[in-house]
Structure 1
């Protein structure tokens, strides 16, 4: 129990960390004379190497934390991995995480508050651009799922695991159908819940309403799915950032997102006012998810307005260029100390 899932994976990662640290310290720096200014490690997967290199070379260590073992397993994860994460935070000169919700979680877990900075993730708005998708491509996606042009298409893309809340989205469909009888839900992804979701849909007699695509689809297809849908829904129970919400917003689609607990999407999506681009919902409550979806689908004009606001927000705040500038600025601050 202490080791948790995947002890074989863990042992491979451990070996990889020590071999990569050894290569950098002994060969690249020791023999070949390479000069480095900073060591970067992402999550527990590489922070052991980062700590080792820092100890051997004295280089400053920046630790990027994208999620925590405790959070992504809803408290059921490996103690060993959690301890590695915390040790990385203690040894790092700077911790960069992906949202203020994550910063709060790290502080609660004992990470040193004064070391933590927030730098959001981003999206490429040239790639995720609705103008690049033709009406014919949209028609093909919708026809693949048997969705008529007049039927509102609700989209979920992501891992089919409990933490993503997709089962609660299926449970929300009867509430949505009361208000929008011709709505259809498309679920795209892979994960442990596949069989459970199929049985849930059968039990709720929603076979004609919920369409599955149990695949990890390539980015080009993902973009076409965003273009084809009318609203994208991500009712995550734990989501340090939620890059899928950004992708949908960049494609000018309204988004309905889980906003309880640790939710970076709560910071991405503006739920009211002149710049509104979606709705915040309680991901544990199917009726609340339905409320968000029904409101987003209220009228074509509303959908378009929310979508335009979403893309404008991406262009102003969440392009990779802006994120890269912020990251470099944080790295330079550490190097100058």
Structure 2
């Protein structure tokens, strides 16, 4: 599944990228927010830091970046480092919910010679020669890809549903075959749908930036030979989309296929949503501003007002990013943003 297209949507406050395979399905996403530029470590960043504390029992030490972000670095015995020592580090796994980012020691003369989006694109197998297409704000393909990455369920191409539930310990994936009627013997039917589910899980792991332990509950009957085919289908599909390390076992006697995927970029849901599954204040603000920009482009002469839910308006004010000034610079002084005591934004002409 080589990368065929990469789309980029640039809006005030954030830029979103989507990579599509040759079947026009989204397989990888990248997000850069204005608020993150000085305070968040991205995968592949090389940064100056200080070793704050060595914790032998945890197999490493806590490092403080110049931005103030605390990260973790694994240390081998005899590492020769001392607390308080200045270091040059590379980010090998971004921070995610309740987990610090992880870094490794970088060469003293290592420099950042690529933009973050370029590093993301170059990390996708076969995507180095794919040009980036700029699309309008609110582009349907971009929006659909983002919605899919945040959905708890995804429909398989030939029918059936994967329910994807990340937990603190692992990513649990349930395969629901309701409404699917495959021909042939039971074993052949099970192999087809399990293989399809394994391939889809690989795509979803790439799309959502999922890592760690994953368990797919396969349908029965499934024998050893079929189980190996399902495992190999998952590994092959994932390696076609990502350079992250991956391992997997054939389904157990209970029909559970276990996999382990190295962490890299933070899961999209961790960055965009609260633990309760609601948009963060920042996400709600930037999504509302994106709707306003789309309307401003569609109505180039209209004066528009965005009634922004109060929690999102308060984030916008506290962020000190001066997003209103950026709106004025782009569209003139015809767009107004006001606080609103409702849960959803509203846009109207004034």
**Could you say which structure has the higher strand fraction?**
2
**Could you say which structure has the higher helix fraction?**
1
TM-score, reference length from structure 2: 0.22
